[in-house]
Amino acid sequence: MKISIYRYNPDTDKKPYMQDYEVELQEGDQMLLDALIRIKQQDDTLSLRKSCREGVCGSDAMNINGKNGLACTTKLQDLEQPVVLRPMPGLPVIRDLVVDMTQFFEHYNSVKPYLINDDPLPETERLQSPEDRAKLDGLYECIMCGACTTACPSFWWNPDKFVGPSGLMAAYRFIVDSRDQAEAERLENLEDPYRLYRCHNIMNCVDVCPKKLNPNAAIAKIKDLKIERAKEKKAKKTISITAV
């Protein structure tokens, strides 16, 4: 198989370049990560991230033939040759296919992706009805690979301001959680021209998500909630003025 890979070592290279490889696949090599491991065996200078090989950890996300995806879940038989591999766009390159995820995780952490509840701790756990639990389906499964966020033009244009699809989906995951008590705080946290509203429904996030999630739908629901809250505030203000 012929594979062309983006190479860049800031310690030795003045600029990035593409390096071509021909890899001899063995029986049992089915995924792109298998081919990359073969290349790594013949050229140990190649840098990439990998871990679980099961599409769970999200560490081997990269740009594959122009589209973000996971090397461990991308079937070799589905790829046109030569396979062209680049690091995920929109983030600084540390080396070769390894990108600096600092900005991604800063945005993700900024939405406080954890339960906020000031009630006394229960003896067992905080219960939910089956209906409330079902609202979390399609939200909690995110593996934080960064494929969706780095496929989003709004993130490319405003990487320091736009939270990105993954972070915004995490925000909605806790906004809609019946056990959480910080809905108003979470919505206020996103009251900014850039943090939420840079999403223009381009849908790249949905197209590339390896877990088949829909961050765009979650973002749309956050916008709906903010509209509802704005209407409620306006109504209360009108009532107050009328009373005066």
The per-residue pLDDT for range 28-56, each reduced to its tens digit, is 999 999 999 999 999 999 999 999 999 99
63 φ, ψ (degrees, to nearest 5) = -95, 115
Helix or strand (DSSP H, E) at 17: strand 17-22
pLDDT, position 232: 80
CA torsion 110-112-113-118 (nearest 10°) is 180
pLDDT, position 3: 97
Nearest-angstrom CA–CA distance, 72 and 51: 9
User: Residue 93, Cα to own-chain centre: how many angstroms?
Assistant: 17
Task: Place 179 in a pLDDT band, splitting at 50, 70 and 90.
Answer: very high
Which residues, at least 6 apart from 133, have a Cβ–Cβ distance to it below 8 Å? none
Paired tokens of 46: 């190649």
* Backbone conformation region of residue 227, classed left if phi is above 0, alpha if psi is from -120 to 50, else beta: alpha
Nearest-angstrom CA–CA distance, 76 and 123: 50
Task: Place 241 in a pLDDT band, splitting at 50, 70 and 90.
Answer: low
68: β partners? 63
pLDDT, position 152: 97
The per-residue pLDDT for range 49-74, each reduced to its tens digit, is 999 999 999 999 999 999 999 999 99
Amino acid 231 reads K
